[in-house]
Amino acid sequence: MSSFTRRTFLAGAASVFHPITARKGLGYQPATAKATIQADVPVGQIRPELHGHFAEHLGSCIYGGLWVGKNSPIPNINGHRKQAVEYLRAVGIPVLRWPGGCFADDYHWRDGIGPLEKRPRRVNIWWGMYTEDNSFGTHEFIELCRLIEAEPYIAGNVGSGTPQELRDWMEYCNYPSGSTLSDERIANGAKEPFGVRYWGVGNENWGCGGTMTPEEYAGLYRRFSTYLARRQGSFGGIRPYLIACGPNRNDTDWTKRFLETLGPRGARLTHGYAMHFYSNGRSPATKFTVEHLKEQLSSFAELEKGIGQQHAMLRGFDPEGRIDLLIDEWGVWDQITQEDRERYGALWQQITMRSAVAAAMGLNVFHRQADKLGMGNLAQTVNVLHALLLTEGEHCIRTSTYYAFELMKAHRGRTSLRIESDTQDPLGLSMSASRSGSELVVTLVNPNHDRGMSVECQVTGAGLGRASARMLQHADFNACNTFENPDIIVPKNHPVEATARGIKAELPPLAIVTATVAIS
């Protein structure tokens, strides 16, 4: 079976509406959803990087969000907001992409090193024409990554930069000592090299990264990458993982033309190919309509289809599978209100129960397609788009999406398992399953706002033992954690039943349930 046709088994579990099974007092009509987990049929390893994140110099993501400055009255660690560091460290950020986004192709790394008072002030042309004082630069980014134990991913400037600028940044970061650039890093306070492995060669070069054709970008990619990855050796012995700009959503024309021009020689210097996939929303975050809710959540079926098609094209070009498909920006992008923009900065949106359901559906897609994906970075970590944390002054709260990631953290590093279902309904039960040793982890998501689901999940290929579950749920898709009430949506224990044949759970509307089951 080809990897693409397998998608038909995985899209969403059967969801059959049975009014007569409505239970007293529930206030909604449950439907029965059936699926089978094949515990002895591995799909692939769920790389921890599939739960990655992205932080850009945009709105209040960095300045005022992650970075408050060393002299701030807000508790901080060397300028990094202490509460944010603690929350992010707790949820685990396997990889963090920086400094953009669109910002990356107008960023010159030398602006962000050396004594603060000497760093130039530049205008951020992409996100509001405000002046950027460059107080958060490479050293601060690496320090943040170390504080939260994230692998750094630097997105380089192709749109307005040069191959020399990017290879110098790599030398500055990774060469231990003895060259002028590495000694400059040491003089700037970092004796140990930064060991940065992930390097993006541009961002959205079909758009803000230079408005290029795929042929133009492929030519530039070949030129830039020549100076970044050499067979003869690499800076500090760190073999760089070079990431090429892929399509917007499932743009097959971009991929076809890019790969044709890249050719086999360019392919040898390519390790990741990054697609961006946003789930746009036609309402402001807390004022979603039912129609817009359904429309946005249905986009995850398109994401899954896009992964299948892009991966098939990549494998057609690179049958040995040396180039990974990545999703290095994804998440919900709602209508941003003027009031929110003025109060909190560009691309600030509230994060609701709908956003959490979307995050969990996205992660379920990544798990199911684990054999095809190398990374997935939610956009963006703090105060921008699909954020894990929101800040206002000294306040820093965990959003519903933070808790969705927390609930699904147990899948990281495990083996994704095959799931069978006989429906294609994009709003049917969304699920993923993984195993490691004697434990099975299953995440079930009910994306419906108006009906519960009685989930009957048969498990083949393993015997089941004790089970427990946690749930994140709120019946109102516009509900959210606020600075005044930060605990409106938090996970709690939820009953789950494991029998000899499988798992049974009741999912209220808009519920994310992760069950952990002992297996033999």
Active site residue ranges: 204, 329
Q: Which is nearer to ligand AHR, 4 or 278 (CB)?
A: 278
What is the nearest approach in angstroms of ligand AHR to the Cβ of residue 329? 6
Neighbours of 420 (CB within 10 A): 18
Identify the CA nearest to 13 among candidates 455, 356, 500.
455
Alpha carbon distances (Å) from 494 to 159, 500, 504, 512: 50, 20, 12, 10
Q: Which is nearer to ligand AHR, 325 or 417 (CB)?
A: 325
What does the DSSP assignment read for 33-99? EEEEEEEEEEEEE--GGGGEEE--SSTTSTBTTTB--TT-SS-EETTEEHHHHHHHHHH--SEEEES
What is the nearest approach in angstroms of ligand AHR to the Cβ of residue 445? 24
Residue closest to ligand AHR, measured at CB: 101
Give residues with Cβ within 8 angstroms of 288, minimum separation 6: 281, 296, 334, 352, 354, 477, 478
Give residues with Cβ within 8 angstroms of 62, minimum separation 6: 55, 56, 99, 136
What is the nearest approach in angstroms of ligand AHR to the Cβ of residue 347? 6
What is the nearest approach in angstroms of ligand AHR to the Cβ of residue 207? 7
CA distance 40 to 351: 37
Q: Please, what is the Cα angle at 271 between 51 and 258, to 5 degrees?
A: 110
Contacting positions for ligand AHR (CB under 6 A): 56, 100-102, 203-204, 329, 379-380, 385
What is the nearest approach in angstroms of ligand AHR to the Cβ of residue 275? 12
Burial of 37 per CB tally in 10 Å (0-12, 13-18, 19+)? buried
**Three-state DSSP string of 191-236:** CCCCCCCEEEECCCCCCCCCCCCHHHHHHHHHHHHHCCCECCECHH
CA distance 492 to 201: 42
Which H or E element spans position 252?
helix 252-267
Identify the CA nearest to 89 among candidates 141, 2, 148.
148
What is the nearest approach in angstroms of ligand AHR to the Cβ of residue 341? 14
Tokens of 11: 């899209």
Contact 137, 108 (CB under 8 A): no
Q: Which is nearer to ligand AHR, 379 or 467 (CB)?
A: 379
Q: Which is nearer to ligand AHR, 200 or 508 (CB)?
A: 200
What is the nearest approach in angstroms of ligand AHR to the Cβ of residue 208? 6
